[in-house]
Amino acid sequence: MIFGVLNQKGGVGKTTLSVNLAACFARAGARVLLIDADPQGSALDWAAARQGPPLFSVVGFPRATIHKEISQLGQGYDHIIIDGPPRVTDLARSAIMASDVVVIPVQPSPYDIWAAEEVVKLIAEAHIYKENIKSVFVVNRKITNTAIGRDVRDALAAYPIRVLDASVAQRVVFAEAAAQGQAIFEIDPAGPAVAEIEAVAAELMEYAK
């Protein structure tokens, strides 16, 4: 399965979600490839910061030919995560075309909800060429017990894209893990962040069927 994690707005936690979803799938025994398609190379930086053996493969491929080369790049892997670029470009279009499911992380903020329109348009364009592309919103970096955290689902209902029931809260452990090139389950295996990522991964896999 190929999951493209995209949102044209920066700072939504794209790389954090990509890395930890990849780690979650790998922890379950799958062979996982994380493709860093963001020219900023944040996922590659994460991999470079890691001291221990890799949890999964990470390659940099910020080129607008991902959809043409994904079958060769992903040969032998069970799941591929594409950490997409933060702008609407040919590279973003290519990452969408390469994906089975486009995962759109959205922070519970009006700016993020408005900005989601751009990636929704790109997905609609891609449907013309690849009808079976699926797409979902994931509420990410949610601040618990706030009105905007609760209302974001209603606001996203304006778009013709499903919002996952599972969501991910804003937690310091994500930054702590990233600084060490680790996944959150290595930092706090029994913590709520791990449970949230596992819930998102399980729902994505169910939706992707």
**Confidence tier at 112 by pLDDT (50, 70, 90):** confident
Domain count, the chain: 1
pLDDT at 87: 78
Whole-angstrom distance, CA of residue 75 vs CA of residue 77: 6
pLDDT at 146: 67
**Confidence tier at 147 by pLDDT (50, 70, 90):** low
pLDDT at 17: 97
pLDDT at 88: 67
Four-CA torsion 91, 6, 203, 184, nearest 10 degrees: 110
Question: pLDDT per residue over 98-108, tens digit each?
Answer: 999 999 999 98
CATH classification of the domain holding 156: 3.40.50.300
Q: Is the dihedral of CA 120, 122, 127, 128 positive or negative?
A: positive
The answer to whether the predicted template modeling score (pTM) of the entire model surpasses 0.75 is: yes
* Residues spanned by the domain of 123: 2-208
